[in-house]
Amino acid sequence: MNSGNQLFEQTGNCHPMFQGAPSSVAFKKLRKRLLRQMREALGDFSMVEPGAKWLVCLSGGKDSYALLALLADLKWRGLLPVELLACNLDQGQPGFPKHILPDFLEQTGIPYRIETKDTYSIVKEKIPEGTTTCSLCSRLRRGHLYRIARETDCTHIVLGHHMDDLLETFFLSLFHGGQLSTMSPKLKNDEGDLIVLRPLAYAYEKDLERFAQALEFPIIPCNLCGSQKNLQRGVVREMLTGWEQASPGRKSVMAKALSNVHPSHLLDTKLFDFNQLSRLAIAQKDELL
């Protein structure tokens, strides 16, 4: 673990991650919108416990960079009373540039931990060529992140999934899982000792991509899952993109639906007691009144 304080000087009117950020009105609006969306998610799902320690998972992709930058921005503004520890799990992918994330974190003053575990070889050994690797890869990665959180006294694990991820997961569950569900913005792990958070739940990928490009984050591509073709998630992503192009704003409507559920208009008898709608039950209720 490294304190990341060598080059950290909290001077000026922004966190060091935003030094050199564009001064354009467009970027300021984008930054403000993303901060607002994150604060709404933090508030709506009661994510913040003052004094807690968060393990912020940094993959080297645009989403996790944006996650860390926005959290650091809120903390710098005095709006996030938690301790942040950035963490990258080096999974042993061939050609992975090991220096990029430590260099970046040193320059921005973010405390961090880099963990090296060769899960790549395990995935390649266990999963036949041409088969989806995501399930095993994520399972192995999650186990190591839980362990690291415990070793570093972190109470929360923070991930960079955004609204597009949530929508894609919803339709994957609908089409292939036979259920209405998506990634939860806040959940407890099976052991019950860690909380998993997704503060970007209200943010959209297109905004995060623009944000990452504007701040010139040193993006590291994934050559394991990112190189796979014809994944079902990719198919769903193309479907949602097509809908959005045909009817701009469609994603926002679907996103609103995720938090506007009517149990009595679905078919889950465990979620809604349809017996209460019987004529006899209604008559008995009227008698009590």
Q: What is the pLDDT of residues 117-169, one digit of tens each?
A: 776 767 666 666 666 656 656 777 788 899 999 999 999 999 999 999 999 99
Counting DSSP H helices and E strands in the chain, the numbers are: 10, 6
Give the tokens for residue 103. Answer: 């260099």
For domain 16-288, give the CATH superfamily: HUPs (3.40.50.620)
For residue 85, the cross-strand partners are 55
| Domain-wise residue ranges, the chain | 16-288
Q: What is the pLDDT of residues 242-262, one digit of tens each?
A: 999 999 999 999 999 999 999
Q: Is the confidence at residue 25, as pLDDT, over 60? A: yes
- pTM of the predicted structure, to 2 decimals: 0.87
Q: Are 161 and 201 in contact (CB under 8 A)?
A: yes
Please, what is the average pLDDT of the chain? Answer: 87
Residues 283, 273: Cα–Cα separation, whole Å: 16
pLDDT value at position 8?
37
pLDDT band at 280 (very low <50, low <70, confident <90, very high): low
Give the tokens for residue 265. Answer: 């208009």
